[in-house]
Amino acid sequence: MTQAAATATPATRERPTPILEARGLVKRYGQVTALDGCDFELLPNEIHAVIGDNGAGKSTLIKALSGALIPDEGQILLDGQPVRFHGPLDARRHGIETVYQDLAVAPALNIADNLFLGREVRRRGPLGSLLRMLDHGRMVAESRRHMQDLKIGIRSMNQAVETLSGGQRQGVAVARSAAFARHVVIMDEPTAALGVKETHMVLDLIRKVRDRGLPVILISHNMPNVFEVADRVHIQRLGRRVAVISPHDFSMSDAVAIMTGAMAGEEVASD
Amino acid sequence: MAKVTPAERAEAAPAEAAPSLLRRALALSTLGPLIALLIAVAFFTARSDRFLTGGNLSLVVQQVMVVGTLAIGQTLVILTAGIDLSNGAVMALGNVVIAKLAVDSGMNPLLAIAVGLLVCAAFGAFNGSLVTGLRLPPFIVTLGTLNIAFALTHIYSNDQTISNLPSALTFFGNTFTVGGTDITYGTVLMLVLYVVAWYVLRQTAAGRHVYAVGNNPEAARLTGIQTRRLLLGVYTTAGLIYGIAALLLIARTSVGDPQAGATDNLDSITAVVLGGTSLFGGRGSVIGTLLGALIVGIVRNGLQLLGVRSIYQVLITGILVILAVAVDQLARRRQAK
């Protein structure tokens, strides 16, 4: 992450190596072309929003980046190196974590169990290796640290997740991703299931994740949210990237106009 | 916040810990069944002199030994949000296979036991592969395999009860004496199985995954848990446990009986539900199941000592099940508020 800290703001002309990049992605479903030569570029230290109308290929793009599907053509580069993801687990092994909109936590399990689900820590010595005993103490302590890092104020890590509010639950999911991601956190509509106050809590979390040096890809339908937190906005239309804009230089209605084709995207690409 | 000194924080901690310990105890799903068990024990102790004696309690545990063992497998399956209607029939098949191989085919008893366990585990794996491979509901799958196992048992045994078993098969019916009370090796085996199941569910990653898969399968899959492999493992393990129950049944009855276990599937579900495990999966504990099995055993035994007709024992068991689930649901709804 030292590399991320050293880079200038994303708006400068001299671009650092993108953390995650896609070139000319194509994905066809029978007659339908979901991605039609789509490019994508995530720079260090930014919140990169992806917006687009329904059917623009937004979710197909995200699935390709998170390993949930394999594109027919095109290339994905992680830290400048070409990679091929054979599944979500493979992308995760490359340090890309995804937060889903539908609160992908197990409500009856406690916070520590959820944070370490699928990545449990065993005890040292024969208890762990032979009897496969889990190190509950360590997982609880580390969970507390991760939650405190993001300033999510929850006292007990032994609390069942179902006793938390929707925002706090999403906080657990964000903390899990931030704890284990090495390169990128992808957030797929992380606020779709939340109320206004909770949404702002999660937006704050997204900023904190970025400030800790992890770039974030944010997929959202909610324009005010996008314009509030994003450093750059990728606009997807008809299976391609038509513009990358800075929310400081463009209004929400401009973004919508580009999204729907009312304004030509190529003219406004911000660099 | 910034002004809190470490000393102040240290002072605040124990005050916080006490109510949280109490809250954790109250949230424990086994607390309800434990209280119910203690009430039942207190009631029958007051009403009958013969109830609270070592001999009688040892008898109760022996009576719940078979269903109690089946209920361990049932708990595993129910925790994954499944259900297993076939366990009694699978046990009967294992029971007949072991007895017939050892007696009619003259196979070495230990080998016969191994084959019986293998047959039951294979049946569990069959259940599991239908649930994960064809993605059929566990209720339907095990309703089917219940009939298949039942039919196979009767075809294989020719409807004959197999007796004159070699003594090696009934080892777990033998007793040892502790403080004047005879205890069978079978009850010890059942209790050991409970401890092992508790350990695996509480203390290992695989156990946490069982809860996660039952609670939110999609979330479990997204965190990288191989949900199908886990389910297959759960059903296969359950099958193996039914095989052990078959061995305990042989030890208890000293015969291979094709008619055995006809209602044991429902009795094992009763124990699981009385033990506070949710039929929707992801919540509960195997210790609760042990308590549930003991509650049924103690109520039946106690009523018998009081001279109540056996059909009333069934009636009361039915009422207990509804009561247990109702209390559990009410508590959960209050917690959710």
Residue to mutate among B9, B23, B195, B215, with most A CBs inside 10 A, is B215
**For residue B20, is pLDDT > 50?**
yes
Residues in contact with B39: Cβ distance below 8 Å, sequence separation at least 6, in sequence order: none
Taking CB atoms and an 8 Å cutoff, what residues of chain B touch A163?
335
| Closest-CA residue to B219 (of A135, A113, A23, A193) | A113
Determine, for residues B208 and A107 on separate chains, whether the beta-carbon distance falls below 8 Å. no
Name the pTM for this structure: 0.86
Beta-carbon contacts of residue B144 (< 8 Å; ≥ 6 apart): B130
- What is the predicted pLDDT for the residue at B337? 52
Nearest chain B residue to A136, by CA: B203
Which of residues B17 and B239 earns the better pLDDT score?
A: B239
Tens digits of per-residue pLDDT, B113-127?
999 999 999 999 999
Domain ranges of chain B: 22-329
* CA A255/CA A243 separation, integer angstroms: 9
B212–A132 CB contact, under 8 Å: no
> What pLDDT score does B18 carry?
47
pLDDT digits (tens, 9 = 90+) for B156-202: 999 999 999 999 999 999 999 998 889 999 999 999 999 999 999 99
Q: Give the model's pLDDT for residue A267.
A: 52
Q: Enter the tokens of residue A121.
A: 């820590």
The sheet carrying A32-42 orders its strands as A32-42, A20-29, A73-78, A81-83
- What's residue A9's pLDDT? 46
Q: Which residue has the tokens 């002199």?
A: B49
**Nearest-10 Cα torsion for A23, A27, A33, A37:** 10
pLDDT of residue B14: 40
**Consecutive 10-residue averages of pLDDT for chain A (271 residues):** 41 74 94 93 95 90 90 94 89 89 83 92 91 93 89 85 87 89 91 85 91 93 93 94 92 91 68 46
Token digits of residue A33: 């072309």
pLDDT at A264: 80
Residues of B with CB under 8 A from a CB of A: 16, 20, 24, 27, 199, 203-206, 208-209, 211-212, 215-216, 218-220, 222-225, 282-283, 335-336
Q: Is the pLDDT of residue B7 over 70?
A: no
Helices (H), chain A: 2-6, 58-65, 88-93, 111-115, 126-129, 136-149, 166-180, 196-211, 223-229, 252-260
Assign B334 a pLDDT band (cuts: 50, 70, 90). Answer: low
Please report, for residues B78, B129, B141, B142, B195, the alpha-carbon distance to residue B136 in angstroms, rounded to integers and kept in the order given.
15, 10, 6, 10, 31
Residue of B nearest to A103 (CA): B219
What are the tens digits of pLDDT across the range B245-301? 999 999 999 999 999 999 999 999 999 999 999 989 999 999 999 999 999 999 999
**pLDDT at position B3, please?**
43
Identify the pLDDT of residue B325. 82
For B22-329, the fitting CATH number among 1.10.3470, 1.10.760, 3.30.70, 3.40.30 is 1.10.3470
Which ipTM was obtained for this model? 0.81
